[in-house]
Amino acid sequence: MATAFEYGIDTLTTGKALALAQGTMKGILSTAARKRITASQQQVQQIVDENKTVYGVNTGFGILANAKISEEDTRTLQHKILQSHSVGVGDPIPAEIAKLMLITKMQALAKGYSGVQLQTLERINWHIEQDVIPIVPEKGSVGASGDLAPLAHLFLPLIGLGEVLYKGVRYKAADVLQQFGVAPIQLGPKEGLALINGTQFILSFAIKAVERMHHCLEVADIIGAMSLEALTGTQAPFDERLHQLRPYAGTQLVAQRLRLLLHDSAIMQSHVDCGRVQDPYSLRCMPQVHGASRNAWLHLKELTEIELNSVTDNPIILAADDTISGGNFHGQPLALPLDYACFAAAEIGNIADRRCYLLLEGKWGLPMLLMKNVGLNSGFMIPQYTTAALVTENKTLCFPASADSIPTSLGQEDHVSMGSISGRKLNKVLDNLEYILAIELLSACQAIEFRHPLKSSAILEFAHDQVRRQVSFAEEDRIFADDINKIKAIITDYSFVEAVNTYTHLAGVELNKGYEAFGI
């Protein structure tokens, strides 16, 4: 296991957050973090003892901010806020996302500006380490005062309520706590509010999207290069000199990768004087289209990592006599880049579908529908129907949730981000994109075999072999859904790209050389 991560002290990245969720890195509360946490909690207690009026400590919430709460009721108030705000509906979010919510909340609270008890953070970390993951419904957050409903559900188990997933089985939280001999926590002043204020639901979907979209972008370049080879396209549009004249980082990276992927291809050399002047845009403009999506991805990654190390609570406790009630919980900083990334992911699917269509047309020496005996067989006609359907579904998901706002809390919270919807929507688009890329990869591998005995580059021949370990060449129709699911699986788990990357590294080729920011 890697060196322990110190919550609230160390800088959290998307990669480290995922490692903590996967259990390959351990998160701890260091002595320095414990001092910060304890000092902040003591400041909140001083506010209560001195009867100073501070929002959320001894007042109601939202529109009820002017309702004063007595000292004896300040703890009850925090218990009630978890109950009253647990209004989520729909299916549970994936356990990994819920675990990321716990991890990112640990990082935010451990910075020592929220007034929580040390034992509360220790209990949250216990949930992470024991893999006792709260059940969180997917819908109910507007991403304004943070992700109130999902975070309320996330922390119900702290007070012995709600449900958890443990060893793949759904239980009442109280039953699992009893099984471990662990008692519910008595929340102190402000703690309930600190737990539910924040962007951890939006943020956790963003972390997962950063990982998944990175995988899709990596595989899209490889598949696009294979489609270009099968269609006897030219690599001239990937010339480094061209892209120095319009030097977007993403465009330059994709052009570099395509040059390396196609290097020393016998197929490419076989048609250098074929007389074809230009390829269709879906081949020629891969650096511009794939590259623009990479730029969008990088923007999301950079803003996600700012949020990973931010305090998104309200109010912020600087000292007993210095508190700030602001809007750090507002989800807009992530809602906008999540929507941008949604368009960028959908565009990778759009251009992949166009390449699938080109492969079926029967041009440039390929058989129509990528099968010799069509008529009796439909060949690869119908898999492209699926890419067309998925591309259209993605288009309907591209309406930016962040363009909408509905007032809540009787107008006190009169502008909301809807970033929770942006994050969920992006991951749905990525679900569809993985299937689209799987279908293009199947089609490209089928098509490239019609170029034999000519060989592609060593890298692309290796990539082709990885696919053929899962799915054979199709001489006639079969249930292509089985093939699609097998190839989608090696895209989703990243094993296909990891195998190609390992092969290229051993061959002394670094596809992302000079572009460290584009990795995780």
393-421 residue pLDDT tens = 999 999 999 999 988 887 788 899 999 99
Give the closest residue to 197 by CA, choosing from 314, 319, 52: 314
The DSSP call for residue 374 is B
- Cα separation, 383 vs 451, in Å, equals 21
How far, in Å, CA of 215 to CA of 111, rounded?
32
Judge if the upstream peptide bond of residue 453 is cis by omega within 30 degrees of 0: yes
Q: What is the pLDDT of residue 146?
A: 85
pLDDT (tens digit, 9 = 90+) per residue, 264-274?
999 999 988 77
Torsion, CA 14, CA 15, CA 20, CA 23, rounded to 10 = 150
Q: Cα separation of 146 and 142, whole Å?
A: 8
pLDDT (0 to 100) of residue 201: 98
On whether the 205-314+324-518 domain is CATH 1.20.200.10, my answer is: yes
pLDDT given at position 1: 54
pLDDT recorded at residue 199: 97
DSSP lists the bridge partners of residue 146 as: 144
d(CA 116, CA 109): 7
pLDDT of residue 274: 76
Long-range interactions of 492-498: CB distance < 8 A, separation 24+: 492/215, 492/434, 494/215, 496/219, 496/441, 496/463, 496/466, 496/467, 497/215, 497/218, 497/219, 497/222
- How do beta strands 137-139 and 5-6 pair? unpaired
pLDDT computed for residue 62 by the predictor:
65
Q: What distance lies between CA 159 and its chain's CA centroid?
A: 30
**CATH no. of 5-198:** 1.10.275.10
**Residues of the chain scoring pLDDT < 50:** none
Using CA atoms, how far apart are residues 84 and 62, in angstroms rounded to an integer? 13
Give the pLDDT score at 269.
94
Q: Where are the domains of the chain?
A: 5-198, 205-314+324-518
The catalytic site residues sit at 55
Torsion angles phi and psi, residue 353, rounded to 5: -60, -40
Q: With contact defined as beta carbons under 8 Å apart, do 501 and 509 qualify?
A: no
Residue 43 φ then ψ, to 5°: -65, -40
